[in-house]
Amino acid sequence: MAKKKKTPVIEELPPAPVRYQPITETIETNYMPYVMTVIVSRAIPEIDGFKPSHRKLLYTMYKMGLMSGPRVKSATIAGRTMAIHPHGDAGIYETMVRLTRDYEALLHPFVDSKGAFGKQYSSNMKASAPRYTEARLESFCSEIFKGIDKDAVDMVDNYDGTTVEPVLLPTTFPNVLVTPNMGIAVGMASNICPFNLAEICDGTIAMLKKPGISTNRLMELIKGPDFPGGGLLLYDAAQMRQVFETGVGPIRLRARYRYDKDANCIDILQIPYSTTIEQIIDKIADMVKSGSLKEITDFRDEIDISGFKLTLDLRKGIDPDKLMAKLFKNTPLEDNFKCNFNILIDSAPRQMGIAEILREWIVFRMGCVRRELTFDLNKKKDKLHLLEALAKVLLDIDLAIRIIRKTEKEEEVIPSLMAGFAIDEVQANYIAEIKLRHLNREYILNRIAEMENLRREIAELEAILADDLKIKAYIAAQLTEIKKKYGKPRVTQIMEAGEVKVYDEADSVENYPVKLLLTRDGYFKKIAVTPRTQFSVEDQKLKDGDTVTTVLDAENRDELVFFTDKCQVYRASIDDFDCLKAATMADYLPTKLKMDEGERPIYMELRKEYPEGENYVFVFANGKAVRVPVTNYVTKGNRRKLTGAYSDTSPIVAVFLETDKKPVDILMISSADRAILVKSTLIPLKTTRTSQGVQVMQLKKDQTVVRALVNFGESFQNVKSYRKLKIPATGILLEEKNIAIQQLKIDTD
């Protein structure tokens, strides 16, 4: 029988001591390094106009030799880039997509692409997988790499120390203002709009010549942002000055379109850079569904190989310019680009205006040029140093040959030449390495003639390096050449904001006379009135048991106000409602205006203005009433709903309107069939909407006011007996309920 194994005894370890860390220490040691990494190494561009991801990708393509030759697969480029940018090939490919010509996000793309790379103006058009697309560098990239192999910028080790990469790229133009850039860091963000390359070159040259250039002069040379998608820039001088001086402010952009008269349609050809065609289509679709856009019969995306196009088919007789003004106001066809020029300068984020950015770029570029010219200078000095030894050899070539022939050991050749011609070791090595066939007078004379050119070039380089003005002139000459070679006309056209036609909703609404009906149960009907219209309330189709309470004559452009039994006011345009025929059931107003559950309208009027001298009169079931100035119902903006319209301490019975010049007589009838008739001026005027008012009609326990009328001529002809000159007042029994009066009428008859 096998012996049972003993269960090993596991000794419990004592609990680890708890260390409490102050939140300030946690933030400093854990959070702040992350914050600085995001700001410095990911989200915010530097003075060369690139984020690290852009810079690493382009430099990898440069080292792959993609400045020339055939395109290679995008997957290959993404894989190679991971050697200095270990953030996954998917993210690298997305970065490359934005830099391509086909994506159309840049005025001057850096990547010559082949394949489906999507479009900047569409969120649905995506790039194909990197194994299907190909790319190489555009020739334009020569301007961002010029001097990189001549020590123009610092090089640092990559993340694993296997290779080196540049800290910045030595761009020969202010790429930071030519290439758009957006990034969200921690606690800060950057949003840089693109400017026209030719204009930026002009502005930079002017600043090189006159560092203290005024903002006005800079704004003359750099007219404003130039977006790849084109469109119209609505130029506001004050806002543009703010952007130029502070780097912060909105830029208003709107779409460009053309009207095809034959097809009666509008073709939208360019849209704001900050939006997409899907956002525009979704907004137009919402407006069509809500009934606020009745001018079009169809709309569709017609993007094809020729470029962007969004087509709107119009109804007959629609003014295309007025329709576009409406769409500019209500859709992303007009949008703001919010500038925030936040740039890293020496690894520290700074928010700067255009002039300050150009000054910083000039300082950066002067440093690059100095290093590049110093590199060239040293190369020329080294070459001159070698040629000076060759000149000495020219004096006695036979001596050089004899020295080499008579030297017994190879290692003694260099010292012997050094001693024989009084030259240093570097020069002696150069002489010793000259091929035998080159030891002829012609070759040596040609090399010596080269010395004069070298001395002249060295003198020129030393003169430039010794004078900042000459370095600036050197940079200006480069900018002039870049403008000549790569400059393009503006894509985004400029339009003065004051010339823009502001959309007036009233102008777009067809105006004609209408009849408006409101029923007791909350149904509303709009009927178009023509000279041939035979209008009659009795002919209108209503719900069984419902009656018409209000009839108004109006025009289609008028505005309506509805008071409800839930202490709320709703505003609506008459044009929001469709015209109905007498035989058609009316619109149910609570549904149309999205009222609260169980809420119904009790009063309707036409209202556009809220003048002084007009008051609303509210009559409540508890016999109280109050007057409130209509000015208390003015709201900021175009609010469609107002709460707290009157007191909610007692149910509302009726709402009336009076003016200083035309007070109204109000007939109040109680549940006990008693009535009083009072002038509205007897009711006090209160300054707050929710005032409970004063007692107007005296009521016994369990009695309420059930009706309040101002138009009572047909129903109540003899009302003099109900007249009261003071309030509160006790009601008089209605004539039709007074047996004595009815008996007297019978006897008289």
Active site residues: 132
Three-state SS for 309-348 is CEEEEECCCCCHHHHHHHHHHHCCCEEEEEEECEEEECCE
Tell me how far apart the alpha carbons of residues 166 and 168 are, in angstroms, rounded to a whole number. Answer: 5
Give the number of other Cβ atoms within 10 Å of residue 15's Cβ. Answer: 6
Which residues, other chains included, contact 121 with Cβ-Cβ below 8 Å and sequence gap of 6+? 104, 229, 271, 275, 276, 277, 308
Whether the upstream peptide bond of residue 180 has omega within 30° of 0, thus cis, is no
- Count of Cβ atoms closer than 10 Å to residue 388 Cβ: 14
Strands (E), 576-660: 587-588, 601-606, 614-620, 624-629, 641-643, 652-659
Rounded (10°) angle between helices 354-395 and 197-209: 70
Contact assessment for residue 111 and residue 137, using Cβ atoms and an 8 Å cutoff: yes
Closest Cα partner for 475 from 374, 370, 377, 378? 370
Q: Which two tokens stand for residue 474?
A: 């050197």
Helix or strand (DSSP H, E) at 639: none
DSSP structure string for 99-142: TBTTTT--SS-SEEEES-B--TT-SS-PBPPTTT-EEEE-GGGH
The token pair at 712 is: 């009572």
Residues 659 and 614 sit within 8 Å (Cβ to Cβ): yes
Question: What is the Cα–Cα distance from 380 to 410, expressed in whole angstroms?
Answer: 30
Which residue from 391, 385, 450 is spatially nearest to 424, judged by alpha carbons? 385
Structure tokens at 342: 């936040």
* Tokens found for residue 266: 């509008």
The label of the residue with tokens 């940018």 reads: 85
Cα separation, 363 vs 440, whole angstroms: 49
Return the DSSP state at 649: S
Tokens of 645: 């319209």
Rounded CA separation 73/87 (Å): 19
**CA proximity to 257, closest of 334, 329, 318:** 334
Those residues with Cβ within 8 angstroms of residue 465's Cβ, 6 or more apart along the chain or in another chain? 370, 373, 374, 377, 471
What angle in degrees, to the nearest 10, is found between the helix axes of 89-98 and 74-81? 120
3-state helix vs strand vs coil in the chain, percent to 5 = 35, 25, 40
Q: With CA atoms as reference, report the closest residue to 208 among 350, 373, 366, 352.
A: 366
One-letter amino acid for residue 165 of the chain:
E
Name residue 668's beta-bridge partners.
676, 708
Residue appearing with tokens 């020729």? 306
Element at 528 (helix H, strand E): strand 523-528
DSSP 392-418: HHHHTHHHHHHHHHH--SGGGHHHHHH
